[in-house]
Amino acid sequence: MTAQTIARPPSIVEQFHERLFNSIYSRALVYNTCWEDPAVDRQALALNARDNVLVITSAGCNALDYALTAPNRIDAVDANPRQTALLELKIAGIRHLAFDDYFALFGRGRHPRFNEIYRDGLRAALSPFARDYWDRRGHWFMPPAANGSFYFHGLSGIVARTFRGYLGLRPQLKSAVEELLEARSLDQQCEIYDRRAAPHMWGRGMNWALSRQFTMNMLGVPHTQHAEVRRQHADGVPGFVRKSIEYVFRSLPLWTNYFWRLYLNGAYSEDCCPEYLKRDNFHALQNGLVDRVHPHTCTVTQFLRSSPNAISKFVLLDHMDWMSSMYPAALADEWCAILERAAPGSRVIFRSAHADPAYLKTVRVAVANRERPLADLLRFHPQLARDLTRQDRVHTYAGFHIADLAA
C-alpha cells in the first residue's frame, strides 16, 4: 500500500511557527486534562467487548473513560513522553491508592502527602522516564498557594492560572463567573451570562490575548489550526472562541460541565468530574478494567507498524490538522498504516478546526493498485456527528467527524 499527498509546501512563516511549537511541545506537558468530551465519543464509537481501541493519549482521561465500557484492549499512543508519564501516574494510582487519596490527586489536584504516597505506592510502578519526570514535579500536587492545583501546571494549566489572575483584576467579572458556577438552571445561566459576564469578558484585552499565537501554543493549538480558524470566522479566533463559549454557557448545563468548571475552579468536585474519578468507576477500574489500557510513547504510525493487533476503533483527536500542513507525507504514511492494521468495519473519529478539512481530498492512498483520496475510503455519518456536536460540553472544534473505513 502506498500513499502520496497533493499539498503546497509550508511557507516561511508556517515553518517558523512550527519550529516554535515543536520547541515548546518537546519540553513540556501540554495537556493536564483531556479537552474532548468522552460522552460524545462513546456514542460515536459504540464500543463493545470485542473492540481494540487506539486513542491518542493527551492527558489519559478519555482512555480511562473508554475502559469503563470494557473493550478488549485500549492502546494509548502519544509522541510526547510527558503525556504518557501522566497516564502512567494515573494508572499507578488506580492500582495502588485508595479512592480518597486518588481523588485528592486528580480530583482536587492537590494532596498534602503527595511525596509520601508517591514514594511508597506509585514511583516503583512507573517507567524510567515517568519516574524521573514526577521525581522533579511532586510540588505540582503540593502547592503552597491557597489557590494552587496540579491543574494550574503544564502549558494549558498556565493559561488557566493566568485567566484566574485576570479575574482577580476584574472583580465584576470574577463575581459573575462565581455566580455562573452556582446556577442550577439554563434560564438562570443565560441571564447571568448575558447581563453580568459577557459585558465584562469580551474586551480588547481578551481579544488581543486570543489573537496571539503564543496563547494558542500554550493551549496546544499550532499555527496551522490557528490560521484555519482565523480564515473561517469573520471575527477571527476571538470571534470563534466567543461563539463557542456562548453556546456552552447559554445552551448546556454548566453545573455538569466538568471541562469548563475545572479551569475556572482549578479542581473537580465528586459530583462534577470525569467518569474515571467517580468512586464506583474507580473501583471498577481498580478491579481489572485499568489493565486493558496500555500506554505507548511513539507516533501512531510507529505503533501500528509494530503492533500485531487489528484495531477496530481509532480516536485520532485533531492531530491531522497540523500534520496535513507541515508533514503531509507522514500523514499519508499514517493512513497507509491505519488501513493496513484496521479490522473489518473499523470506525474512526477525529476533530478538526475545519468542518470539511482539505486533507480528506489531498491525502491519497493506493488501494488495490488504485490511488484514491482519503475521503473516498471513508463512509461518514454527518447527521450523527451534527447531533453529537450539539451535546459536546467542550465545543471548541469546528468539525467533529465520524467515519467507517470502506471495505
Instruction: Compute the Cα dihedral for 181, 184, 186, 188 and give only its sign.
Output: negative
Q: How much is the pTM?
A: 0.89
Considering only CA atoms, which of 274, 198, 272 is closest in space to residue 241?
Answer: 198
How far apart are alpha carbons 87 and 108 in whole angstroms? Answer: 17
Helix locations, 79-148, DSSP H: 81-96, 99-106, 114-117, 128-135
* Lowest-confidence pick of 16-25, 111-120, 332-341, 373-382: 16-25
Element at 280 (helix H, strand E): helix 279-286
How far apart are alpha carbons 76 and 276 in whole angstroms? Answer: 16
Using the structure block, give the residue that is written with the C-alpha cell 467533529.
400
**Between 222 and 235, the higher pLDDT residue:** 235
Task: Using DSSP, state whether 73 is helix, strand or coil.
Answer: strand
Q: What was the pLDDT predicted at 371?
A: 84
Q: What was the pLDDT predicted at 162?
A: 86
Task: Using DSSP, state whether 32 is helix, strand or coil.
Answer: coil
Q: What was the pLDDT predicted at 354?
A: 85
Average pLDDT over residues 252-268: 93
Domain 2-92+293-405 class, CATH top level: alpha beta
Q: Look up residue 384 and give its amino acid.
A: L
Model pLDDT for residues 53-67, shown as the tens digit of each residue: 999 999 999 999 999
Average pLDDT over residues 146-171: 87
> Percentage of the chain with pLDDT > 70?
86
Q: Distances in Å between the alpha carbon of 128 and those of 81, 82, 92, 98, 141?
A: 11, 12, 14, 24, 20
Model pLDDT for residues 342-393, shown as the tens digit of each residue: 999 999 999 998 888 889 998 888 777 788 899 999 999 999 999 999 999 9
Average pLDDT over residues 267-288: 97
Q: What was the pLDDT predicted at 115?
A: 95
Average pLDDT over residues 287-307: 98
Contact by Cβ (8 Å): 118, 85: no
Angle at 58 between CA 290 and CA 146, to 5 degrees: 90
Q: Cβ neighbours of residue 113 under 8 Å, at least 6 residues apart? A: 101
pLDDT over threshold 80, residue 394: yes
Tell me, letter by letter, the H, E, C secondary structure of 330-365: HHHHHHHHHHHHEEEEEEEEEEECCCCCCHHHHEEE
Contact by Cβ (8 Å): 281, 63: no
Q: Distances in Å between the alpha carbon of 137 and those of 29, 34, 87, 133, 153?
A: 11, 20, 15, 7, 10
* Lowest-confidence pick of 94-108, 126-140, 163-177, 264-278: 163-177
Element at 294 (helix H, strand E): strand 293-297
CA 154 to chain centre: 14
CB-based burial label for 7 (10 Å; 0-12, 13-18, 19+): middle
Left (φ > 0), alpha (ψ -120 to 50) or beta: where does 130 sit? Answer: alpha
Segments making up each domain of the chain, as ranges: 2-92+293-405, 169-258
Q: Average pLDDT over the chain, rounded to whole?
A: 88
Model pLDDT for residues 85-134, shown as the tens digit of each residue: 999 999 999 999 999 999 999 999 999 999 999 999 999 999 999 999 99
* Lowest-confidence pick of 204-208, 229-233, 321-325: 229-233
Average pLDDT over residues 38-53: 98
pLDDT over threshold 60, residue 13: no
Considering only CA atoms, which of 258, 363, 282, 366 is closest in space to residue 316?
Answer: 363
pLDDT over threshold 50, residue 17: no
Q: What was the pLDDT predicted at 165?
A: 86
How far apart are alpha carbons 57 and 295 in whole angstroms? Answer: 8
Cell (9 digits) for 15: 515553518
How far apart are alpha carbons 70 and 222 in whole angstroms? Answer: 34
Average pLDDT over residues 284-303: 98
pLDDT over threshold 50, residue 239: yes
Instruction: Compute the Cα dihedral for 42, 43, 46, 52 and give only its sign.
Output: negative
Element at 215 (helix H, strand E): helix 213-218
